[in-house]
Amino acid sequence: MAAVDLSKLVEEKRFWVASFLAAALLFTLSRYAAAPSSSPPPSPSYGHRLNALVDLTLVYDRGAVCLDGTPPGYHFLPGFGDGSHNWLLHLEGGSWCRNFKSCAQRKQTNLGSSDHMDTRAEFVGILSDDQSQNPDFYNWNKVKIRYCDGASFSGNVQHEVKNGTDFFFRGQRIWEAVMADLLSKGLSRAKQAFLTGCSAGGLSTYIHCDDFRALLPKTRTVKCLADGGFFLDVEDISGRRYMRAFYNDVARLQDVRKKFPHCSSDMEPGQCFFPREVAKSISTPMFILNPAYDVWQVEHVLSPQGSDPQNLWRNCRMDITKCSSKQLEVLQGFRKALLDAIDEFKTRREWGMFIDSCFIHCQSMKAITWHSPLAARINNKTAAEAVGDWFFDRREVKEIDCEYPCNPTCYNAVLDEPYKED
């Protein structure tokens, strides 16, 4: 990009930042004043109207329950116009629980119990019904599937009791029960269908993509999108493979290895859970949407608790502009590990990817990062535009951004506390 173009782009971005932060504040204040206490604080729509609030539907199936035994649920927004026969499903994220202690804590939250879930969810980003925010899928039937099993919808353990407390590891059954319910409500007649998910829900999308395709044998187009879900099996800054050890615990606790027949017998169970392994056996067209400097992975995979006893990475974890030159070298190595891991999928003609150089996480579920004047662009395309081009076969999409800090359009997170998933 020529210097004069870069200067204009930066000035334009500053203008949009000022304009839209002001608009976002007005949207938020007016919406918050009218929102019931059971509703989450709203996000700015960056469109011409407010975001939809969608009621929670519970699925009553005795075999399919959350960690605490309560029924799972989803939020359904019907489509309209020429999108009324198309379906987009989104699998919620929220990390994992690796042992009975962490799962017991999780049972007291919306990630382990429908008793703690908001009765309504705000549909933004790829779930928005506003064309200016979600140009290709705004009028589709859209579903947000709540995550309450702690293992990316993959566990299937009959019943566990620890210290007199019941635990239900039924993610696979939740997946099957919710799909059965949605099929009866019109999904079975879909002309086009799109399974998406972010973070732990992105991993779920890799795991269930072919399962989803098998449910819809007569549907013309079925594809999948994993956003911020390509977790890496790499050494952290202390030289340990923290994430593999974490996944080993999850896999053993919920007996998920049997879900992955592709996994060789000489691999640790946690290795089977990484997207690089899961994706090898996927035959359905898949889109990989990932930042090269995923803020969640920088904190939890690259520099997890215990790896940085002197807390030298604290500022870098919170704000990439505060990283030292040595820390940036480590981050560039992390980016290279991601590119190496996805390299084998570049040759799959029906697959797409959008790997930007931003410090962010879950870009499809935020209005500002999915499709707005502030959204990151690669070759002048937002993530929403790139995904739409790929889904509708308008062009081949294999977008790989340059190294940080090359892209001035990036919307980079600046945290004031450790990162938590949406």
Instruction: Please tell me which residue in 130, 294, 308, 356 is annotated as part of the active site.
Output: 294
> Among 22, 19, 17, 25, which residue's Cα sits nearest to residue 42?
25
How many other CB atoms are found less than 10 A from the CB of residue 6? 12
3-state secondary structure of 22: helix
Pairing of strands 286-291, 352-356: parallel
Known catalytic residue: 372? no
Note whether 411 and 368 are within 8 A (CB).
Answer: yes
DSSP letters, 211-244, are: HHHHH-TT-SEEEEEEES--------TTS--HHH
- The token duo for 316 is 């870098």
Instruction: Please tell me which residue in 361, 364, 371, 389 is annotated as part of the active site.
Output: 361
Note whether 357 and 291 are within 8 A (CB).
Answer: yes
Known catalytic residue: 371? no
Instruction: Please tell me which residue in 199, 204, 357, 364 is annotated as part of the active site.
Output: 199
Known catalytic residue: 199? yes
> Among 151, 152, 134, which residue's Cα sits nearest to residue 142?
134
Note whether 254 and 154 are within 8 A (CB).
Answer: yes
The catalytic residue positions are 199, 294, 361
